[in-house]
């Protein structure tokens, strides 16, 4: 992985100080809706889904479709998730697909909260996964 790793304070500084950065939260729709970093530019594009009863992990086959529909290959992206490896796995997939300015936020949402940075449950169109997925599928 070539992506730069930013701690939550560095990610906040980049997002707050440069309007070109977008935070992509690769957690599930439910996780995102429960709370995510509050920043000017954010999008929920899950990297994986979890089966509702077995909790088995399944790849989101539309992840790259949506990211490519919304962002240019040179877009400044900060990938975040939880304390696991979804953010790193998503960053690797984006780099393999040709994205050139991919950053990973370490420590996940819990790290963001440890630094007392604001969170929100904002899930309006333009941020929510379904609002990004539908037009991407239509243009496919």
Tell me the CB-side half-sphere exposure of residue 96, using CA atoms within 13 A.
8
pLDDT digits (tens, 9 = 90+) for 89-113: 999 999 999 999 999 999 999 999 9
* Superfamily, domain 4-139: Rhodanese-like domain (3.40.250.10)
Per-residue pLDDT tens digits for 37-81: 999 899 999 999 998 899 899 999 999 999 999 999 999 999 999
- pTM equals 0.95
Q: Computed from CA positions of residues 93, 96, 100, 105, in that sequence, does the dihedral angle turn out positive or negative?
A: positive
- Distance from C-alpha of 135 to C-alpha of 139, rounded to nearest angstrom: 6
Q: Where are the domains of the chain?
A: 4-139
Count of CB atoms within 10 A of residue 17's CB?
8
Q: What is the C-alpha to C-alpha distance for residues 128 and 123, in angstroms, rounded to an integer?
A: 5
């Amino acid at each position: 992985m070539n992506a730069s790793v930013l701690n939550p304070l560095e990610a906040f500084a980049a997002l707050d100080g440069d309007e070109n950065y977008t935070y992509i939260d690769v957690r599930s729709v439910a996780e995102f809706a429960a709370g995510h970093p509050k920043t000017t530019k954010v999008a929920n594009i899950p990297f994986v889904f979890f089966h509702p009863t077995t909790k088995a992990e399944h790849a989101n086959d539309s992840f790259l479709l949506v990211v490519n529909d919304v962002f240019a290959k040179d877009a400044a992206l900060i990938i975040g998730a939880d304390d696991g490896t979804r953010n790193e796995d998503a960053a690797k997939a984006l780099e393999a697909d040709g994205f050139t300015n991919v950053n990973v936020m370490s420590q996940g949402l819990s790290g963001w909260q440890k630094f007392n940075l604001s969170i929100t449950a904002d899930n309006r169109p333009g941020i929510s996964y379904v609002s990004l997925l539908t037009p991407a599928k239509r243009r496919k």
